[in-house]
């Protein structure tokens, strides 16, 4: 299986190219979104399969560790030489190190899967709410006078507006 980093890099290069082809050649922006969604969803499925494989490896490693512990306890009861017990202890330590690596791998895969799913959600949102309308709504909701003025000026404006309202009443 490919390295996880390369999947994201390839998808981030390929999906805009296909979307541009969908817009320019076919004059269909919907096709561009569908192509990008398809590419990112295939990569998300690959990550999900990868997570299942990692979880299976963790379960198998846990079973292996339990077998080693049982063997060590049986060998201690039989008073076998220390060399065999030391060998089993080394195997146990290796399986613990492998388990740590698997947990790190699973954590990275989960983070990448979450980021890919957020890209998919973002693409879906942008399909129904284009960026232009989102920017216009944000621009309409922001009061630029309060954004760039100091707090003292804002307090003075509030006092003046409240006194004006009282005078009007």
Structure tokens belonging to residue 81: 């030489």
If asked whether residues 25 and 44 sit together in one domain, one would say: yes
Residue 162 confidence (pLDDT): 61
pLDDT surpassing 80 at residue 141 = no
If asked whether residues 150 and 114 sit together in one domain, one would say: no
If asked whether residues 13 and 25 sit together in one domain, one would say: yes
For the chain, the domain total comes to 2
For the chain, give the number of residues.
Answer: 169
Nearest to 116 by CA among 27, 39, 40: 40
Q: What are phi and psi for residue 123, nearest 5 degrees?
A: -65, -40
Chain segment 28-62, per-residue pLDDT in tens: 566 667 777 777 788 788 888 888 888 899 899 89
Q: What is the per-residue DSSP string for 80-127?
A: --HHHHHHHHHHHHHHHHHHHHHHHHHHHHHHHHHHHHHHHHHHHHHH
Residue 29 confidence (pLDDT): 64
The reply to whether the predicted model has a pTM over 0.85 is no
Supply the range of the domain harboring residue 145. Answer: 131-169
Q: Cβ distance 6 to 13 under 8 Å?
A: no
Q: Cβ distance 39 to 33 under 8 Å?
A: no
Residue 2 confidence (pLDDT): 45
If asked whether residues 76 and 17 sit together in one domain, one would say: yes
If asked whether residues 71 and 154 sit together in one domain, one would say: no
């Amino acid at each position: 299986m490919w390295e996880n980093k390369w999947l994201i890099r390839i998808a981030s290069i390929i999906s805009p190219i296909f979307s541009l082809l969908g817009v320019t050649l076919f004059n269909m922006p919907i096709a561009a979104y569908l192509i990008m969604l398809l590419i990112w969803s295939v990569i998300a499925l690959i990550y999900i399969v990868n997570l299942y494989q990692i979880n299976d490896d963790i379960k198998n490693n846990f079973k292996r560790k339990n077998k080693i512990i049982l063997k060590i306890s049986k060998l201690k009861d039989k008073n076998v030489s220390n060399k065999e017990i030391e060998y089993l202890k080394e195997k146990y330590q290796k399986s613990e190190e492998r388990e740590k690596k698997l947990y790190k791998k699973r954590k990275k895969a989960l983070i990448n899967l979450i980021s890919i799913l957020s890209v998919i959600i973002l693409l879906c949102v942008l399909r129904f709410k284009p960026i232009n309308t989102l920017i216009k709504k944000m621009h309409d909701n922001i009061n630029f006078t309060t954004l760039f003025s100091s707090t003292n000026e804002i307090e003075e404006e509030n006092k003046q507006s409240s006194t004006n309202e009282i005078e009007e009443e």
